[in-house]
Amino acid sequence: MAHNKPDPAGLKLRLVAAQRLKAVLGGDNFVPLGATDLADGRDRGLANRLITTALRRQGQLNFIIHALLEKGMPGKSGTFEAVLRLSLAQLVFLPDLGAHSALFLAVEAIKRDPKARHLSGLMNAVLRSAQANSAKFGMLSDDLLIPDTFGDTWLEAYGEESINGFSAALLAGAPLDLTLKSDDAELIDALGAEPVMADTVRIEQRDRPVEALPGYAEGHWWVQDAASAIPARLLGAKPGGRVLDLCAAPGGKTAQLVKAGYQVTALDSDATRMERLKDNLKRLDYVAETVVADAGNYAPVSPYDGVLLDAPCSATGTFRRHPEVIWHRSVGDVAGRVRLQRALLTNALRCLEAGGVLVYCVCSLEPAEGEGQVEWALDHLPGLELWPVTPAELPGLEGAVTARGLVRTHPGMAPGGREGGMDGFFVARFRRR
């Protein structure tokens, strides 16, 4: 006889969260669940909290799973691993949510998955063992949060104190940074924001979506991390000059260049992302020429006074928002990006007028994608010379300017003395002789 018992409370959000986490563990970028995934705002908030905790704590969860699963993760087991990670995250790191629901709903969730239901006994046993050891597991070292792939390189590049800041930033996540069209004290107050540096303001806690914040519909600001806003400010091309923004989408830097008074051409190879850029500019009431083309072989009719190249990179500097990137990237990935960046730098120089300015930047913490590329460019691109950035050009963040006049930010830094860190970014400025 069929029985249609209603699902237990909280099961649906766990099933949806498990599918999203499974996709991210499989290589997708994390995108928070939206209203189309879960209509109820509280369910959505809880599901996103479980997923982000599982992702931020991935290194510690790896350790716990290794300790509890003697034979390792069972193969071809559907959502088993995703449900296990969500439940361990709740048991060990989110004790305010209670242990009972973590245990009960985990077993119920995998009973709904034909590929995992035979493992319900194992799930129950593993979670009960985790519950018994939750105090011990909750005190695991934060050193486990950064994978070995990057840990040693970063330790050498940034030092132990900074790496501790990386771990804290990973767990805290990112506040919301905005770039303002104009200095407006009333708007800053209405947003509940604090000035950070230049025209960047920060919202530490927000209780509504970006689109519902004051000034969004009127185009008074755009979303842009404090670090991401640095490169365009440093361009220093001739006033009103023609500037090319390579790999421009979604358009934050394009908007900055328009605001600075340049005649801007925004180029991106992805037509869908370019539509998003156009929508963003339209909301801001800004005008730029847009081109869908490959930045590696684009040949303009006449060279530009300035080129801004925000090159595709490993994106390891964005881990506060995308904790998965540091687990998805390999040494080989970084090497592939390095080759691509060199091709783009070479073509960026071709697009530049004699005496023109080239700013190269990446949202990566990898020295090979930053400092290493400066050495390569100066050795291999005749006519290119470094135009050092001075500390005075970055008030409130003078410590990010190196002795050679390069800019290196990382998540352990406090821009303008503000809490909440910033993305890892590298910026170098060149001139064509």
pLDDT in tens, 375-408: 999 999 999 999 999 999 999 999 999 999 999 9
Which is nearest to 136 in space by CA: 92, 105, 197, 99?
Answer: 92
The phi and psi torsions of 312 (rounded to 5 degrees) equal: -55, 140
Q: For residue 294, give the amino acid letter.
A: D
Residue 280 dihedral angles phi and psi, to the nearest 5°:
-65, -45
307, β-bridge pairs? 244, 358
> What pTM does this model have?
0.94
Could you report the per-residue pLDDT of 237-271, keeping only the tens digit for each? 999 999 999 999 999 999 999 999 999 999 999 99
The whole-angstrom separation of Cα 430 and Cα 433 is 9
313, 351, 361, 363: which is the annotated catalytic residue? 363
Confidence of residue 3 (pLDDT cuts 50, 70, 90): low
- 337 touches 365 (CB < 8 A): no
Please tell me which residue, 207 or 81, carries the higher pLDDT value.
81
pLDDT at residue 332 tops 70: yes
The CATH fold assigned to 11-140 is N-utilizing Substance Protein B Homolog; Chain A (1.10.940)
Q: Where are the beta strands (DSSP E) in 311-433?
A: 352-362, 384-386, 407-409, 425-432
- What DSSP assignment string belongs to 335-359? HHHHHHHHHHHHHHHHTEEEEEEEE
DSSP H helices, 159-314, are 160-172, 185-191, 230-233, 252-259, 271-284
313 tagged catalytic: no
User: If one looks up domain 231-432 in CATH, what number appears?
Assistant: 3.40.50.150
Structural domain boundaries of the chain? Answer: 11-140, 231-432
